[in-house]
A and B are shown apart, each in its own frame.
Chain A
Amino acid sequence: AQSVTQLDSHVSVSEGTPVLLRCNYSSSYSPSLFWYVQHPNKGLQLLLKYTSAATLVKGINGFEAEFKKSETSFHLTKPSAHMSDAAEYFCVVSVLSGGTSYGKLTFGQGTILTVHP
């Protein structure tokens, strides 16, 4: 079974300060991991993905994440928050077995990021 835990349901930062959104995963096999962002009343947009290549993954809008197998973590970071970053963020794991995806996605429960002026 696969699972994803986002350790904070809400994170609040000031504009210009660093952002850290934490995600731990559980998987019996090598996972693919993703971060998605959802702005209010919008669909989900892919921020970045890890698929067994480089462990430090760079995404859009200055976000990056590091895959740490020993810690089963995939935390999302950004050096300097912008007001436009205020949204809900989802960590997602894709089920893999024997190198073939079974197509099941497991979402974390989401972290709401608030950015203060």
Chain B
Amino acid sequence: EAQVTQNPRYLITVTGKKLTVTCSQNMNHEYMSWYRQDPGLGLRQIYYSMNVEVTDKGDVPEGYKVSRKEKRNFPLILESPSPNQTSLYFCASSLQDGSYGYTFGSGTRLTVV
């Protein structure tokens, strides 16, 4: 089944403790990206990657890192999480230009206390 898989689905952590949210896709998509969803703000793009070793900032990149060492994986790294990063996170992938639509993962609900 073609899908984007995020792990974990739920995570509660403490301020300052580094964490990684994984994202993997099995569709051989070049493009992958991360979003956070907050009430009243919709989804905002954090980082995106057009292909392996090519990443760029979205609208809200502060406090996040990403890497794209393999085509299928695009982990989101929070080096020192803070409570304002409590949010629902989505990973998505698509063919290179995105014009055929984006496939989203099921989401990761992160709480930073």
Instruction: Name A residues whose Cβ lies closer than 8 Å to a Cβ of B.
Output: 32, 34, 36, 42-46, 49, 51, 90, 94, 100-110
Give Cα A107–Cα B100 distance, bound, in whole angstroms. 16
Q: Tell which of B18-26, B68-76, B103-111 binds the partner.
A: B103-111
Known: A104-B58, A109-B40. A49 touches B45 (CB 8 A): no
Shortest Cβ distance from B95 into A: residue: A101
User: Is B106 a contact partner of A49 (Cβ separation < 8 A)?
Assistant: no
Contact in complex: A101, B98 (CB < 8 Å): yes
B99→A94 contact, CB < 8 A:
yes
Whether A90 contacts B106 by the Cβ 8 Å rule is no
Assembly CA distance A55 to B104 (angstroms): 25
Among A49, A100, A107, the residue within 8 A (CB) of B43 is A107
Q: List 21 A-B contacts (CB under 8 A).
A: A36-B104, A43-B104, A43-B106, A44-B92, A49-B99, A49-B100, A49-B101, A90-B43, A94-B98, A94-B99, A101-B96, A102-B56, A103-B31, A103-B50, A103-B56, A104-B45, A105-B33, A105-B35, A107-B44, A109-B42, A110-B42
| Residue B102 at the chain A interface, CB threshold 8 Å | yes
Number of B positions contacting A (CB below 8 A):
29
Interface residues of B (CB under 8 A from A): 31, 33, 35, 40-45, 48-50, 56, 58-59, 90, 92, 96-107
Q: Which residue of A lies closest to B6 (CB)?
A: A43
Count of A-B contacts judged by CB separation below 8 Å: 63
**What B residues does A109 contact at CB under 8 A?**
40-42
Instruction: Summarize A's interface: helix, strand, loop or mixed.
Output: strand
| Complex CA–CA separation, A34 to B27 (angstroms) | 20
Residues of B within 8 A of A46 (CB): 101-103
Chain B residues, CB < 8 A from A90: 42-43
* A51 and B100 form a contact (CB under 8 A): yes
Partner of A100, one of B35, B97, B107: B97
